[in-house]
Amino acid sequence: MNLEAKIITDKKEKRIAVYFKKNAELIARIKKLEGSRWSQTLRLWHLPDTVENRERFHLIPSAHSLPSAEGIEQIEKFKQWLRSKRYS
Protein backbone atom coordinates (compact mmCIF):
# COMPACT_ATOMS: atom_id res chain seq x y z
CA MET A 1 0.00 0.00 0.00
CA ASN A 2 1.46 3.30 -1.07
CA LEU A 3 -0.47 6.00 0.81
CA GLU A 4 0.44 9.64 1.21
CA ALA A 5 -1.47 12.07 3.41
CA LYS A 6 -1.22 15.81 3.96
CA ILE A 7 -3.26 18.65 5.44
CA ILE A 8 -5.36 20.68 2.99
CA THR A 9 -8.08 23.32 3.24
CA ASP A 10 -11.30 22.48 1.43
CA LYS A 11 -14.19 24.93 1.56
CA LYS A 12 -12.51 26.83 4.44
CA GLU A 13 -12.22 23.61 6.47
CA LYS A 14 -9.03 21.79 7.46
CA ARG A 15 -9.02 18.27 6.02
CA ILE A 16 -6.55 15.42 5.59
CA ALA A 17 -6.07 14.54 1.92
CA VAL A 18 -5.20 10.92 1.18
CA TYR A 19 -3.36 10.17 -2.06
CA PHE A 20 -3.06 6.69 -3.55
CA LYS A 21 -3.41 4.90 -6.86
CA LYS A 22 -6.90 3.59 -7.60
CA ASN A 23 -7.42 0.50 -5.47
CA ALA A 24 -10.87 -0.93 -4.67
CA GLU A 25 -9.73 -2.29 -1.30
CA LEU A 26 -8.31 1.06 -0.15
CA ILE A 27 -11.39 2.92 -1.37
CA ALA A 28 -13.62 0.56 0.64
CA ARG A 29 -11.48 1.14 3.75
CA ILE A 30 -11.51 4.94 3.33
CA LYS A 31 -15.30 4.93 2.87
CA LYS A 32 -15.68 3.25 6.28
CA LEU A 33 -13.94 6.13 8.05
CA GLU A 34 -16.27 8.73 9.53
CA GLY A 35 -16.48 11.96 7.55
CA SER A 36 -14.61 10.68 4.49
CA ARG A 37 -15.46 12.36 1.20
CA TRP A 38 -14.41 12.12 -2.43
CA SER A 39 -13.54 15.44 -4.06
CA GLN A 40 -14.26 15.36 -7.78
CA THR A 41 -12.46 18.66 -8.37
CA LEU A 42 -9.33 17.69 -6.38
CA ARG A 43 -9.63 14.04 -7.45
CA LEU A 44 -8.77 12.67 -4.01
CA TRP A 45 -10.30 11.32 -0.82
CA HIS A 46 -10.24 13.54 2.26
CA LEU A 47 -11.12 13.19 5.93
CA PRO A 48 -11.75 15.57 8.82
CA ASP A 49 -8.62 16.91 10.51
CA THR A 50 -8.90 15.14 13.87
CA VAL A 51 -6.33 13.82 16.33
CA GLU A 52 -7.34 10.23 15.50
CA ASN A 53 -6.95 10.77 11.75
CA ARG A 54 -3.60 12.52 12.24
CA GLU A 55 -2.38 9.52 14.25
CA ARG A 56 -3.81 7.10 11.68
CA PHE A 57 -1.83 8.73 8.85
CA HIS A 58 1.25 9.59 10.99
CA LEU A 59 0.89 13.37 10.65
CA ILE A 60 2.28 15.89 13.11
CA PRO A 61 -0.26 16.73 15.85
CA SER A 62 -1.87 20.12 15.47
CA ALA A 63 -0.63 22.87 17.78
CA HIS A 64 -3.81 24.16 19.39
CA SER A 65 -2.21 24.92 22.75
CA LEU A 66 -0.86 28.26 23.88
CA PRO A 67 2.90 28.76 24.16
CA SER A 68 4.55 27.98 27.49
CA ALA A 69 6.04 30.66 29.72
CA GLU A 70 9.48 29.84 28.30
CA GLY A 71 8.12 30.14 24.76
CA ILE A 72 6.62 33.56 25.52
CA GLU A 73 9.93 34.70 27.01
CA GLN A 74 11.78 33.59 23.84
CA ILE A 75 9.26 35.47 21.67
CA GLU A 76 9.76 38.63 23.73
CA LYS A 77 13.56 38.32 23.39
CA PHE A 78 13.20 37.91 19.65
CA LYS A 79 10.91 40.96 19.43
CA GLN A 80 13.46 42.99 21.40
CA TRP A 81 16.22 41.84 19.03
CA LEU A 82 14.08 42.92 16.03
CA ARG A 83 13.55 46.35 17.64
CA SER A 84 17.32 46.69 18.23
CA LYS A 85 17.83 46.12 14.49
CA ARG A 86 15.09 48.68 13.83
CA TYR A 87 12.74 46.12 12.27
CA SER A 88 9.05 46.53 12.94
How does pLDDT run across 9-52, given as a tens digit for each residue? 988 899 999 999 999 999 999 999 999 999 999 999 999 999 89
- Identify whether the C-beta of residue 21 lies closer than 8 Å to the C-beta of residue 54: no
**In the prediction, which pLDDT does 66 show?**
62
Q: Which amino acid, residue 51?
A: V
Q: Residue 87 has what pLDDT?
A: 83
- What is the average pLDDT value for the chain, to the nearest integer? 89
Q: Could you give the CA distance from residue 62 to residue 50 in angstroms, rounded to a whole number?
A: 9
Structural contact between residues 51 and 7, judged by C-beta atoms closer than 8 angstroms = no
Higher per-residue pLDDT: 21 or 66: 21
**86 backbone φψ class: left, alpha, beta (φ>0; ψ -120 to 50):** left
For 46, the domain range is 4-84
Domain count, the chain: 1
Can you give the pTM of this predicted structure?
0.66
